[in-house]
Amino acid sequence: MKYLIVIAVVLVAVWLWRNNRRAELREKSAPRRPVTGPHQLPTEIVACAVCAVHLPRPDAVAGKRGLYCSDAHRRQAED
């Protein structure tokens, strides 16, 4: 009787191991979906010419002498 229990436990363990291996293989072979949404490409980070705070380029204020974190810093540097 105890041999039947040992055999049953071994069979269940082998079955679980094989199912996990199959799932891993399916994940690896599945085609990757392209990244969609606003974070598709990395954003360039720039530093403010006055205070050196780093911010994304789309949020920076462009001036004659560089990029700034705010309009106040742009005016301060250009006046």
Looking at residue 21, its pLDDT comes to 87
Q: Which of the residues in the chain have pLDDT under 50? A: none
Mean pLDDT value across the chain = 87
Q: What is the pLDDT of residue 37?
A: 62
Q: What phi and psi values does residue 52 have, to the nearest 5 degrees?
A: 65, 20
Q: What is the pLDDT of residue 75?
A: 93
- pLDDT of the residue at 39: 60
pLDDT at 42: 81
Using CA atoms, how far apart are residues 55 and 75, in angstroms rounded to an integer? 18
What pLDDT does 11 receive? 96
